[in-house]
Homo-oligomer: A and B are copies of this chain.
Amino acid sequence: MNRFTYEELFVGQTAEFSREITNEMMDKFCEISGDVNPLHKEESFAKDKGYPGRVVYGMLTSAMYSCLGGVYIPGENCLLQSVHSDFLAPVFIGDTLTCMGKIVEKNDSVRQVVIKAVIRNQEGKKVSRAKIEAGVL
């Protein structure tokens, strides 16, 4: 885990990490959220809608933005203030997602960094993008 102070963080600073989406993560997200939508739960429903398999919850992929702030930049001193995510392409179980973030702004008066981030799948396709505001404790 990184432990950057506000002063150590700089515009242009980047971080990157990857995770594979598993069936178990899908089950856990369903329990946390209560989102039992069949697009995420039933293979046959997803196929009827034209997808090759169950579609991964957009907000499960966005959980990576929590990790980006809380573990990478700023890391330990992070207090997430907002996450604005856009879902650009469907994600499927077994996909390996890579989350990349870059600090684009520092707001000294409120000790806040603004991070632009994207998530790509194993084929390099952009599946999500976000703007994240994080306070630095």
Contact = CB atoms under 8 A, between A and B. Distances in A.
A59 to B, nearest CB: 4
Nearest to A85: B83
A80 interface: yes
Contacts of A59: 59, 62-63, 65-66, 80, 83
Give this chain's copy count.
Answer: 2
A86 B131 CA distance: 11
A28 interface: yes
A40 interface: yes
A35 B82 contact: no
Which of A19, A40, A67 lies at the interface centre, i.e. has the most chain B CB atoms within 10 A of its CB?
A: A67
Nearest to A58: B80
Interface residues of A, number: 44
A86 B82 contact: yes
Given A49-B137, A65-B59, A81 B76 contact: no
A66 B49 CA distance: 19
A135 to B, nearest CB: 10
A67 B32 CA distance: 10
A33 interface: yes
Nearest to A86: B82
A60 B62 CA distance: 10
